[in-house]
Structure 1
Amino acid sequence: MVNGSPRVKRDREERDRLVRQGVLVVDSDPDLYRFSRDHIFGSPSIAGGVVKDGNCSGPQSWRRPADGKTLKEAGG
């Protein structure tokens, strides 16, 4: 998201860096960014924070496609 919530975003600097590098580009929907290429994040929480433009607990938010378990449920 270009502008999500809450006001204080701990991953905003990372998101802005990815925009400057061209990893995130404006989507056809001007409220969204999209990835122009694959990017590996240092943690699932940073990835979630960048994607939703807000604070995120990655282990509780990301789900595995194979079984639908969160990373926390799966022990990751």
Structure 2
Amino acid sequence: MGSFSIWHWLIVLLIVVMVFGTKKLKNMGSDLGSAVKGFKDGMKDGSTDTPPTAAQVADGAKPVADKATIDVEAKPRS
């Protein structure tokens, strides 16, 4: 009586499918999977970045930029 049997879970699953529909559940599953993958990639990328050292900041040296970063300088219009 304290735990659910397989029949209870099947009935709950059937009700969820009837309420949301299979297409919506599939979309939610793929969205959740891509979010988890993006989070893992972000955590992996974030651990390799190192902040500038105190010597670099004191000397005014710029930290090494990412290869995808483009530095631009804005010039005032004449």
Question: Normalising by structure 2, what TM-score?
Answer: 0.21
Q: Which has the larger radius of gyration?
A: 2
Q: Which has the higher contact order (CA 8 A, sep 6+)?
A: 1
The structure that is strand-richer by fraction is: 1
TM-score, scaled relative to structure 1: 0.21
